[in-house]
Chain A
């Protein structure tokens, strides 16, 4: 079997950082080849090199046995390599047709464009109005448009960069079906992922990258998820598990009939919710279904249009801003780089901006605060625990730990977290999950709003699902399974599912 794509000895450095260390990688014709690795392992860098977006410092690339010099995406497409990015690179405010045409099927004027587009959609059907603006379409359709655009340009190797991150469970099934069709038609697909379950489902072969090095390539049928996980992190992984019983007590956080009006379904529609001390309530859902509004009202950042949010029987947010720091509410924001930390400031300064830093009044001793911050950072496992380091220099996992240290050192009674482990590698994820379980065992009420279904399923004592601003549940974790949560995320109720009689269809 001669390789369709052969990358040899690829080295790429960004300053002092080596993103790719002598990586060899090959793709056979007609296969789905998964590229697996933690965030920061160098998957996207390697593929950006193959797509000409980034130029390698050393190494060669062969396509069809011929060495190619990829100076830009145009060269890659010419060689037959196309890439669909994690966030589809379409121009939002142009129409579907214009975006298809932008792919460079030719030059010309309006009429020429129209016939070119008609030619594309005839070969690759799209059930979208070609005149629709891309910004009005859901992610799954945008992805499909980008795939079609690649195919229209005669691409034989399609790189999909974490395509499932923005899809619902059902849509993932559709995408995988399409990938199979492509492979049958003789294309090859490179599937970038950090999810083992998906890789096992779709890939023929899998290559694992770790810290910029190629650990190895296996046939999926001849390996196990545990072996792949070990290859990814370099040590045995045990998923965080809820070992202890949930001892839920009194309600801490209480939403009644909470409504936040928005036109795009990203508001809240009469949500009732209680979070009790000693439990983790996980809220699953695809992004854009009210998560942001729920986070804002429960973190004391916004007032609902209707209904109330109460923390320990007092209304949120408190009328006086300075009181917000005294209400024992820990806040893990969604975007740690913009909302969570001041990246240009040192860690001790960041620590000080949190609630109840022991400054001892308006004037504080810098030396004592640095010392205090250092102790906290060490306790929360931040590496390096250097209070004088800049927040922007830390890895994502360590940044998140700094936020945890800041929010949790004062022992809050309630913690509201949004996507707490997004973008973190497995090890950091596990540490943060352990931290959540620890909080729960200490009797803290935890509300975790997350788009990562695995995370919600693994940690939650009760699980709710947001869809289009409405909250289903929360249901006790032992009364709802992963498949049901998946259906709710896609907007189907359990009742509907039952009536349609396809309750046995295995989606996962």
Chain B
């Protein structure tokens, strides 16, 4: 038991937690845009996986993780465009389309990995290595947790704060939200629901792709089949727990980061808990927290509903 408390008190746990929370956070931030505009984007998982894979490809052929990140984002935007086209233009069921995309991306990435590299044995590529921020990283406790990570953590923090500002403090964000609350009212005011929903989905794709890039280029420097492993679905839960706020998403994502970190840590100690049980922890916590906030939070009113005139 004291071993367990040692782990809970260790700085290393939280450094790992932040690292594991980041991909989820990127996805959740993207999803906030989509859902605020009225779209349930279950395809998050697929966009993330696609970003992770394309990021590795980009980095492998260019040698630069930044170009890898760009390629990953573009590829994920491609997936988002399919989701947007089918659900916005063709009024397809958003959830069905999302699940179909997830399954398709899973198959396609695994296939391409084998097509490019014999046996699907993806080599190590250049990724975002950690670097310590001068001065800041010397702060006790906070330093190692926040300021000894790769560059993408700063991107994530900036995106979270900027998203909050954009959605709540600008006319653009206000119009986007009106499309998710009452598309008919928005349309009658001359706001193009179509355009705002498309834009929100593109942003969502870009951010989910970035989350995937962090997974592959920020942590493992390679790609493995289904490496997103359900994090896209967890991000969907994070959005609900965060009550559609980009700032609250920071905390909500961190909760899951901590659970995952704990699961990893406990495995390497001699604490007598089955590893499988610990690995299930993030998912169990998702269910519990979800049950706790459900009913208390109010989703955008037109969430998941297609809109057409007349």
A271 within 8 A of B: no
Q: Of the candidates A73, A91, A106, A112, which one forms a contact with B178 in the assembled complex, judged by CB atoms under 8 Å apart?
A: A91
Kindly state the separation between the CA atoms of A101 and B191 in the bound complex, as whole angstroms.
12
Interface centre among B172, B174, B181, B187 (most CB of A within 10 A): B174
Say which size band chain A's interface belongs to. Answer: 20 to 34
For the complex, give the distance between the alpha carbons of A271 and B309 in Å. Answer: 44
Q: Is A102 an interface residue (CB 8 A)?
A: yes
A91 to B177, CA, bound (A): 9
Contacts of A108 in B (CB 8 A): 170-171
Are the CB atoms of A104 and B190 closer together than 8 Å?
yes
- Contact mask B246-271 → A, CB, 8 Å, 1/0? 00000000000000000000000000
Chain B residue contacts of A53, Cβ below 8 A? 187-188, 309-310
| Interchain CB contact under 8 A, A74 and B171 | no
Question: A103–B191 Cα gap in the complex (Å)?
Answer: 9
Output the least CB separation between B185 and chain A (Å).
Answer: 4
Are A94 and B178 within 8 A (Cβ)?
Answer: yes
- A contact residues around B182 at 8 Å (CB): 89-92
Cα(A100)–Cα(B217), bound, Å: 46
Check B309 against A93 for contact (C-beta < 8 Å). Answer: no
Report how far A83 CA is from B174 CA in the complex, Å: 21
Secondary structure of the A contact surface, majority rule: loop
- Closest residue to B172 on the A side, CB-wise? A107
Nearest-Cβ distance from residue B119 to partner chain A, whole angstroms: 53
B189 touches A107 (CB 8 A): no
Q: Given A89-B182, A104-B191: A94 and B174 within 8 A (CB)?
A: yes
Determine if B301 and A93 form an interchain contact, defined as CB atoms under 8 angstroms apart.
yes
Q: Is B175 an interface residue (CB 8 A)?
A: yes
Contact A93 B298, CB 8 Å, known A101-B171, A101-B174, A108-B171: yes
Chain B min CB distance to A340 (Å)? 24
A119 to chain B, nearest CB (A): 15
A-B contact count (CB 8 A): 68
B186 and A109 contacting across the interface, CB-CB below 8 Å: no
Q: Chain B interface secondary structure, helix, strand, loop or mixed?
A: helix
Asked if B199 is at the interface of the complex by the 8 Å CB criterion, the answer is: no
Q: How many of B's residues come within 8 Å of A, CB to CB?
A: 22
A71-114: contact bitstring with B at CB < 8 Å (1 yes, 0 no)? 01111010000010100011111100010011110111110110
> In the complex, how many angstroms separate the beta carbon of B177 from the nearest chain A beta carbon?
7
* CB-defined contacts of A113 to chain B, threshold 8 Å: 171, 174
- Interchain CA distance A101-B174 in the complex, whole Å: 9
Bitwise interface map of B from 173 to 203 toward A, beta carbon under 8 Å scored 1, else 0: 0110110011011111111000000000000
Partner of B189, one of A75, A93, A103: A103
List CB contacts (< 8 Å) of A442-479 with chain B: none
| Separation of A72 and B191 alpha carbons in the complex (Å) | 9
Q: Does A54 contact B (CB under 8 A)?
A: yes
**Contact yes or no, A102 B191, CB < 8 A:** yes
User: CB distance A102 to B169 under 8 Å?
Assistant: no
> How long is the Cα–Cα vector from A380 to B168 in the complex, in angstroms?
56
Residues in chain B near residue A101, CB distance under 8 A: 171, 174
Contact A73 B190 (CB under 8 A): yes
**Inter-chain contact A92/B190, CB cutoff 8 Å:** no
Docked CA distance A104–B192 (Å) = 12
Residue of A nearest to B181 (CB): A91
Contact present for A102 and B301 (CB under 8 Å): no
Q: Are A93 and B190 in contact (CB under 8 A)?
A: no
Residues of B within 8 A of A90 (CB): 182, 185
User: Which residue in chain A gives the minimum CB-CB distance to B184?
Assistant: A89
Q: A residues touching B (Cβ–Cβ < 8 Å)?
A: 51, 53-54, 72-75, 77, 83, 85, 89-94, 98, 101-104, 106-110, 112-113
Sampled A-B contacts (28; CB under 8 Å): A51-B188, A53-B188, A53-B310, A54-B309, A73-B190, A89-B182, A89-B184, A89-B185, A89-B188, A90-B185, A92-B181, A92-B182, A92-B301, A94-B178, A94-B181, A98-B174, A101-B171, A101-B174, A102-B175, A102-B186, A104-B190, A107-B171, A107-B172, A108-B170, A108-B171, A109-B169, A109-B170, A109-B171
Contacts A102-B178, A108-B170 known; list 10 others, CB within 8 Å. A53-B188, A72-B190, A73-B188, A90-B182, A92-B181, A92-B182, A93-B298, A98-B174, A101-B174, A103-B189
